[in-house]
Structure 1
């Protein structure tokens, strides 16, 4: 088992998931709003998309659930999609803004 706490390993896994249209991972894009640890190591992930009509929505949400469930020690995983608040570029990390040419 990894020496990192479970929450850190979840964040690590989220850093490996990319929006297919952008060269930045979903964590740095600011698409992950909240990681809530539940009883029995269950995880609720609240996230958004760059646009409500994102054609890759199902693919991204499925990859989040699959990669987090695959982590040792994780119980039930629930990914909740929300558009409140709506995503905008200000939610991106400075690293993501640099990668995208916004700085």
Structure 2
């Protein structure tokens, strides 16, 4: 394992797990909306940034970059009642965490106060490519 991967925590037992303590700030950001799960949200878009922050706590166990910056999240639809639909992909169809990753995404999104039901769909079109990665992710992986 290279030094960068160790520094980023690659290979540790808790990679891919959502640290609910780290999400306390995220939850506080939407607390002012006064929304409870399943109830109407004044402006569903107020949930977008906290949801993205929660998704940034989820890491692909094989790559030391969060799934949002890795470009695995294609769509986040937020309904007026706080229900959230997420379309995501994986870096490869034969990814060994294909069954686990959507569950990790659902669990992360559910930690955001004001979110109701969460549905995660695994999609393959368009196929993932390194072009979907954020500049920060490319820098972390030495692709610049």
Q: Same fold (TM over 0.5)?
A: yes
**CA-atom RMSD, angstroms?**
1.2
Give the structure with higher Rg (CA): 2
TM-score using structure 1 length: 0.94
Alignment partner, residue 47 of structure 1: 88
User: 2:49 & 2:93 partners in 1: Cα distance?
Assistant: 28
Q: How far apart are residue 3 of structure 1 and its match? A: 2.9
Q: Give the alignment of 1:26-45 within 5 angstroms.
A: 26-45=67-86
Q: How far apart are residue 60 of structure 1 and its match? A: 1.4
Contact kept, 8 Å, 2:74 with 2:87, in 1: the verdict is yes
- By percentage of residues, which structure has more strand? 1
User: 1:38 & 1:6 partners in 2: Cα distance?
Assistant: 10
Alignment partner, residue 3 of structure 1: 29
Alignment partner, residue 90 of structure 1: 131
For structure 1, list consecutive stretches of 5 or more residues without a partner in the other structure.
none
For structure 2, list consecutive stretches of 5 or more residues without a partner in the other structure.
1-26, 31-45
- Residue-pair matches, total: 103
TM-score using structure 2 length: 0.68
Alignment partner, residue 119 of structure 2: 78
Cα shift readout 1:28-62 (whole Å, capped 9, x = no counterpart): 00000010012311000011000001101222111
